[in-house]
Structure 1
């Protein structure tokens, strides 16, 4: 087994630690939901826009997840190929969330260039190291973190897009349709998806720490 691959035996999580983490995750999601509520209630001029709480919180979640992935790869040195690929996905999402500011301050479609510069070399590296990637992924695919990550991706990139369609909200609200309803629905569901992705990355980092300890033992 390669040195950077996860150990083959399970490394259980204590019940107390599970309860603490579950409580913290509940508080995180509750804080995000409350922040979106306050944005709708008090900040009418910027609500669900690039200047509002929801959009800024999305960027903060993605930036935190990106930093944790770099820490897991560069410091803990566990699953370097899996964490690199996830980093490419999360960091590209962070860049995509800045499209308004990049178009405003740099040039139109700048985010596409930056995402390409992130994705292409990382995909090349993963293909080159595909054997190690497959070995690492075999251990990660059966983890709680992977399940959460998949749920976050499905929530953000599938459900939020379908749920936030204008035609859906026009059908629901009919003559009372206002674009704000559509924007709120899509952005808040997207916020939940990014929160799930961050929680998945936190779990991945904690899992990597346990695997590192097991490897040392």
Structure 2
């Protein structure tokens, strides 16, 4: 109980810190276009993705769910590096890297395909699945819809909408989506670790 309350308190504190990071980023950026590729918000998105992938790497059990999440988040991470990869390697090189990564992880998932259905049925009963679903919904739907040009044209009542406001809306909600996904991954790690520990205790008791 205390551990759960502590996690929630940390999540709340990090949420506040996240909002301050967004404010600081908007306040200190001197470029005409704010919340661009090199912004603190964009860098924080990458950090959350890396932390999520690291957490999954250390998660034991539930291999099918684990590798499916690694596949999805790994593709997100590669896609976020598109500008860097285009300049460092070649234009659209991120697409080929995605194909290679997806092939490697997809092959691993294929090897354990028999466990996918049973793991998903159990996983969707956990709180972490709900948090992850909310995170992906925020990332893939809400942030995209909230950052639409036509939405901000309507809000501002002009065809010449404020680009920085539109960017702030989209990138900051996208960042919060990645943050929710990270929380979901952490809760998944805690759930799996707790279940493995409980199973060991039952075995010892028997």
Structure-2-length-normalised TM-score: 0.91
The answer to whether structure 1 residue 70 and structure 2 residue 61 are counterparts is no
The answer to whether structure 1 residue 53 and structure 2 residue 36 are counterparts is no
Which residue does 2:204 correspond to in 1? none
Gaps of 5+ in 2: 202-206
Distance 1:121 1:101 in 2: 23
Q: Deviations over 1:186-211 (max 9, x none)?
A: 00000000000000000011111101
Asked if the contact 1:47–1:53 (Cα under 8 Å) also holds between the matched residues in 2, the reply is: no
Q: Is the deviation greater in 146-155 or in 87-96?
A: 87-96
User: Which residue of 84, 106, 111 maps to 2:67?
Assistant: 84
User: Which residue of 75, 82, 103 maps to 2:86?
Assistant: 103
How far the C-alpha of 1:127 sits from its partner, in A, is 3.7
Q: Deviations over 1:85-108 (max 9, x none)?
A: 101111111111111111121111
How far the C-alpha of 1:126 sits from its partner, in A, is 2.5
Q: Deviations over 1:41-97 (max 9, x none)?
A: 12232730111110000000000000110111xxxx311111011011111111111
Count of residues in correspondence between the two structures: 199
Structure-1-length-normalised TM-score: 0.87
Which residue does 1:192 correspond to in 2? 176
Asked if the contact 2:67–2:108 (Cα under 8 Å) also holds between the matched residues in 1, the reply is: no
Asked if the contact 2:128–2:184 (Cα under 8 Å) also holds between the matched residues in 1, the reply is: yes
Gaps of 5+ in 1: 1-13
Q: Counterpart of 1:96 in 2: which secondary structure?
A: helix
Moved over 4 A (4+): none
What is the 5 A alignment of 1:1-217?
A: 14=1, 16-45=2-31, 47-72=34-59, 77-175=60-158, 177-217=161-201
